[in-house]
């Protein structure tokens, strides 16, 4: 029988539909390594759990528990919650870390409610004090920093994707299969699934180091291509303001802001984005902000490190030409 | 069909929002309070689908301070049939666990076939409450739906996650959450506003729901510290005189950003 370290941190690592570890795994295991010993839980469809164990080890999981609960690929959240409950029972961790993804939030919510654990959501960091694990949050669009901890017990913490830079050292893990008693809690079933094809060679918006975003100032879907061109020169991801999304120029998944994706890249270039507070809420933690807008009073200039008042259809082509020339 | 829509009052995101640096609580006076937009979309979905469902009753359930009644009445003016408002000073600053317990108890007390919520509120940005409530009620939960089809005994829809798009379904009773792909809520018209005045509003306390907000046997999440991030200040701003693209290229290269 495996024994787990006193300072175990249980990490639910997500896998992609094709069986690899999700991008969020590295940050979660990195965060766990800062405050204790990372113990990874892999939940896969029956017969598929072995695939990703070595990946988890290379990301620093000292122990890897593999669970193959019935229905893991056919039912929403509940099989993973059952696995997590069994793992927590076995490991007795100091905290449970889960990605703040759509699936992660569902599992975290159900698990916390079932086990009556304190839940902290969308953390951007974790630390340990005398009493236990503390979650650090950035709220109201990055305007406030808040630290939270449970009154007692191990907290369940969802971690914002792309927020943790620390990576744990690779280790040779102890791997053990986990027996998962099914809870029988009713859940929604998956009737069909279509994996989203990755068509772009550009970085993913979430967690990107550079982002070029376009707004209403691009004036049309055809003109929005200018955003793509600059993004390609900079090796950046493409984002958009709500106005550009509502106009139908780009898909919903491009939206940066309060109700879209929050990003904190090294560089954020806003083209024809006015900078409504909802948009700023999703990008103002960027290290360097550049804005081009013909309205000198656009609120985006209040937070821009470098602002250009001008016609983006003149400025951006010149910028692209200038950057391309220097690269050659 | 008994449909419950979860709604909340939030500080208007079009204004400045403030946290009290001593209590860590939202400064409700600092900005205008509005119904959260995603909740309005959830109500709009319920109102739209109600027409094709037998005996549809739409009840809005909200946990909010007493002062929120005025805001919540908008939901009645939009067309909801009834409001259940849990207002209790002892619930100020309630964490997610306590909030979920209170809402689940109110939903159970009201009776339900389907609970509809938004996927993420604009203030808390948590996105976990519907899952917690589903677990406490012991029913299925289909999250982040971008299309929804409700029939007398089943709910189905399209769900988008990071990995792809899926079709999901659950038997009723169930909880669902929707994304902002759904149409915005309708504006209440004069007739709706007048009718709202006669609609029932039930005000409950935690004690009515048999919940002790100060009970110490359940772990709660507490705030240890809150601080304001220094505001970003504007940097260099130039007006294009024909060479702004080149100047910007220089700035990016100097700062090793290109």
DSSP label of A241: -
B126 touches chain A (CB under 8 A): yes
Q: What is the pLDDT of residue A185?
A: 97
Residues 175-234 of B with CB under 8 A from A: 179-181, 216, 218-229, 232-234
B contacts of A307 (beta carbons < 8 Å): 234-238
How do beta strands A156-159 and A95-99 pair? parallel
Average pLDDT of the residues in A6-29: 91
Q: Please, what is the angle between helix A312-327 and helix B244-254, to 10°?
A: 50
Tokens of B149: 């089809």
Distance from CA of B32 to the nearest CA of A (A): 14
Mark yes or no for CB contact B238/A308 under 8 Å. Answer: yes
Quick: pLDDT tens for A153-184: 999 999 988 788 899 999 999 999 999 999 99
Q: What is the pLDDT of residue A200?
A: 59
Measured CA to CA, the distance from residue B225 to residue A148 in angstroms comes to: 7
Other C-beta atoms closer than 10 Å to the C-beta of B15 total 12
Residues 48-87 of B with CB under 8 A from A: none
Q: What is the pLDDT of residue B245?
A: 95
Quick: pLDDT tens for A255-310: 998 778 888 888 999 999 999 988 998 898 888 999 999 999 999 999 999 999 99
Triad A261, B144, A204: Cα angle to 5°:
35
3-state SS, one letter per residue, for A145-169: EEEEEECCCCCEEEECCCCCCCCCC
Q: Nearest Cβ partner of A144 from B19, B156, B170? A: B19
Q: Nearest Cβ partner of B235 from A120, A158, A304? A: A304
Mean pLDDT of chain A: 91
DSSP label of A33: H
Q: Rounded to whole angstroms, what are the CA distances from B86 to B8, B29, B90, B205? A: 11, 20, 11, 6
- Percent share of chain A, pLDDT over 90: 71
Nearest to B120 by CA among B55, B45, B36: B36
Q: What is the pLDDT of residue A260?
A: 80
A contacts of B223 (beta carbons < 8 Å): 146-148
Q: What is the pLDDT of residue A56?
A: 87
Least confident of A16-25, A229-238, B233-242: A16-25
Measured CA to CA, the distance from residue A256 to residue A116 in angstroms comes to: 34
Q: Please, what's the b/e burial string for B203-232 (b: 16 or more CB within 10 A of its CB; e: otherwise)?
A: ebebeebebebeeeebbbbebeebeeeeeb
Q: What is the pLDDT of residue A229?
A: 94
Nearest to A26 by CA among A159, A148, A126, A202: A159
**What residues of chain B score a pLDDT lower than 70?**
13-16, 28, 30, 162
Best of B94, B95, B229, B247 to disrupt the A interface (most A CBs within 10 Å) is B229
Kindly report the pTM of this predicted structure.
0.86
Beta bridge partners of A10: A39, A96
A contacts of B166 (beta carbons < 8 Å): 190-194
Q: Please, what's the b/e burial string for A56-79 (b: 16 or more CB within 10 A of its CB; e: otherwise)?
A: bbbbbbbbbbbbbbebbbebbbbb
A143 touches chain B (CB under 8 A): yes
Helix (H/G/I), strand (E/B), else coil: A311: coil
Mark yes or no for CB contact B132/A113 under 8 Å. Answer: yes
Distance from CA of A3 to the nearest CA of B (A): 26
CB A163 within 8 A of CB A125: yes
A contacts of B236 (beta carbons < 8 Å): 305-307
A326 touches chain B (CB under 8 A): yes
Mark yes or no for CB contact A121/B128 under 8 Å. Answer: yes
A74 touches chain B (CB under 8 A): no
Q: What is the pLDDT of residue A198?
A: 53
Quick: pLDDT tens for A81-126: 999 999 999 999 999 999 998 999 999 999 999 999 999 999 999 9
Residue of B nearest to A82 (CA): B135
Mark yes or no for CB contact B128/A158 under 8 Å. Answer: yes
Q: What is the pLDDT of residue A272?
A: 96
Quick: pLDDT tens for A38-61: 999 999 988 776 778 888 889 999
Q: What is the pLDDT of residue A262?
A: 83
A contacts of B37 (beta carbons < 8 Å): 259
End-to-end CA gap in chain B: 58
A259 touches chain B (CB under 8 A): yes
The ipTM of this complex is 0.90
Mark yes or no for CB contact B38/A190 under 8 Å. Answer: no
Tokens of A122: 């969308």
Q: Rounded to whole angstroms, what are the CA distances from B165 to A107, A192, A319, B159, B234? A: 18, 8, 37, 6, 41
């Amino acid at each position: 029988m495996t024994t787990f370290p006193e300072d175990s941190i249980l990490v639910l690592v997500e896998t992609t539909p094709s069986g690899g570890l999700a991008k969020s795994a590295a940050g979660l295991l990195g965060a766990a390594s800062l405050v204790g010993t990372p113990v990874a839980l892999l939940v896969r469809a029956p017969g598929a759990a072995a695939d990703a164990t070595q990946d988890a080890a290379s990301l620093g999981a000292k122990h890897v528990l593999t669970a193959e609960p019935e229905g893991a690929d056919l039912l929403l959240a509940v099989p993973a919650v059952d696995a997590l409950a069994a793992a927590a029972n076995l490991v007795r961790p100091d905290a449970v870390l889960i990605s703040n993804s759509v699936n992660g939030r569902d599992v975290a919510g159900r698990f916390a409610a079932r086990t009556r654990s304190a839940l902290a959501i969308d953390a951007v960091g974790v630390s340990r004090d005398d009493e236990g694990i503390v979650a650090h949050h950035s709220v109201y669009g990055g305007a406030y920093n808040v630290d939270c901890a449970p009154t007692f017990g191990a907290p369940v913490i969802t971690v914002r994707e792309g927020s943790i830079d620390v990576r744990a050292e690779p280790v040779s893990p102890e791997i053990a299969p986990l027996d998962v008693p099914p809870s029988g809690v009713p859940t929604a079933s998956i009737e069909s699934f279509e994996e989203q094809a990755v068509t772009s060679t550009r970085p993913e918006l979430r967690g990107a180091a550079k982002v070029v975003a376009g707004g209403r100032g691009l004036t049309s879907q055809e003109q929005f291509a200018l955003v793509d061109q600059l993004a390609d020169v900079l090796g950046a991801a493409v984002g958009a303001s709500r106005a550009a999304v509502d106009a139908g120029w780009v898909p919903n998944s491009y939206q940066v802001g309060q109700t879209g994706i929050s990003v904190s890249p090294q560089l954020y270039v806003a083209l024809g984005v006015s900078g409504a507070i909802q948009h700023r809420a999703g990008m103002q933690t960027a290290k360097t902000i550049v804005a081009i807008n013909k309205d000198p009073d656009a609120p985006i200039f209040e937070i821009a490190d470098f602002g250009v008042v001008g016609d983006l259809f003149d400025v951006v082509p010149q910028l692209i030409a200038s950057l391309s020339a220097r690269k050659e | 069909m008994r449909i419950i829509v979860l709604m909340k009052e939030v500080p208007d995101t079009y204004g400045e929002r403030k946290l009290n640096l001593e209590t860590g609580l939202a400064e409700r006076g600092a900005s205008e309070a509005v119904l959260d937009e995603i909740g309005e979309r959830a109500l709009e979905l319920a109102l739209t689908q109600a027409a094709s469902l037998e005996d549809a009753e739409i009840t809005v359930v909200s946990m909010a301070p007493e002062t929120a009644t005025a805001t919540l009445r908008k939901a009645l003016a939009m067309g909801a049939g009834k409001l259940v408002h849990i207002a209790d000073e002892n619930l100020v600053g309630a964490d997610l666990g306590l909030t979920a317990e209170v809402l689940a108890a109110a939903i159970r007390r009201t009776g339900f076939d389907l609970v509809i919520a938004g996927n993420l509120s604009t203030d808390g940005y948590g996105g976990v409450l519907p899952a917690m409530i589903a677990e406490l009620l012991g029913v299925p939960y289909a999250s982040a739906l971008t299309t929804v089809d409700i029939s007398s005994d089943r709910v189905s829809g399209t769900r988008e996650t990071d990995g792809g798009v899926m079709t999901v379904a659950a038997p009723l009773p169930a909880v669902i959450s929707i994304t902002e792909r759904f149409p915005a809520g309708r504006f209440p018209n004069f007739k709706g506003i007048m009718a709202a005045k006669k609609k029932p509003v039930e005000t409950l306390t935690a004690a009515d729901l048999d919940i002790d907000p100060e009970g110490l046997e359940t772990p709660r999440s507490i705030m240890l510290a809150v601080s304001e991030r220094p505001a970003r200040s504007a940097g260099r701003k130039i007006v294009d005189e024909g060479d702004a693209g080149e100047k910007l290229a220089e700035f990016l290269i100097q700062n090793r950003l290109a």
